[in-house]
Structure 1
Amino acid sequence: MNARSERPTDTEPLVLDGDLTIYTVAETATRLRPYLAERRLYLDLSAVSELDGAGLQLLLWLRETLHARGGALRLVAHSPVVAEVLGLLQLSGRFDLDSAGPAAGEAA
């Protein structure tokens, strides 16, 4: 899992790509920790190719931690894999997935 933006902004979100799984979640969590101080964190998950329970737990932890600190997590784009997992577990609303766009060229 790679984070492609050093400092995300409203116009340039933090892009996560590759797998977000049990094998990558510890490294990804370490990379995301500095962003917990942000008021709003915008994530682009359009390049996430695999999402398992550990990856989902990381996203939920990130969302809840930011919320507890008065911040917010916003998904600005998602891959079909992310949409499928969140949809199957009925978590699309929790991540406001309906307002997040799919990856470029992908159907919602």
Structure 2
Amino acid sequence: MMTLNNGNEVDHDVEYDRWGRMKYHPEYHPNQRAPWTTTDQKYLIENYEKSSAMDVSLALGRTIRTVMQRVYELRLKGLMQKRSPKKIKSEVQHDDVKA
């Protein structure tokens, strides 16, 4: 059982790809094929580095893959900063400490 942003609870089979990302599901991803709005794009830019990709994808009603593709496009256009090598390195080291 999962509660969506609109407060509705859904209990459906969810499939995941080989990387553990949730595949398209109409109840979790109602905006999947809708054009990106300025508000959605602004939310993505402001929250992608602060939250998990899963949280952002559910908040926007899109799959993780779609969100990651949009991040890639925004970074190419210079509208979103690329992750710094220092941040990536610290995340890798932090994960090693957990293991």
Could you say whether these structures have the same fold, taking a TM-score greater than 0.5 normalized by the shorter chain as the test? no
TM-score, normalised with respect to structure 1? 0.29
Which structure: larger Rg? 2
Which is strand-richer, 1 or 2? Answer: 1
TM-score, normalised with respect to structure 2? 0.31
Structure with more relative contact order (C-alpha pairs < 8 Å, separation 6 or more): 1
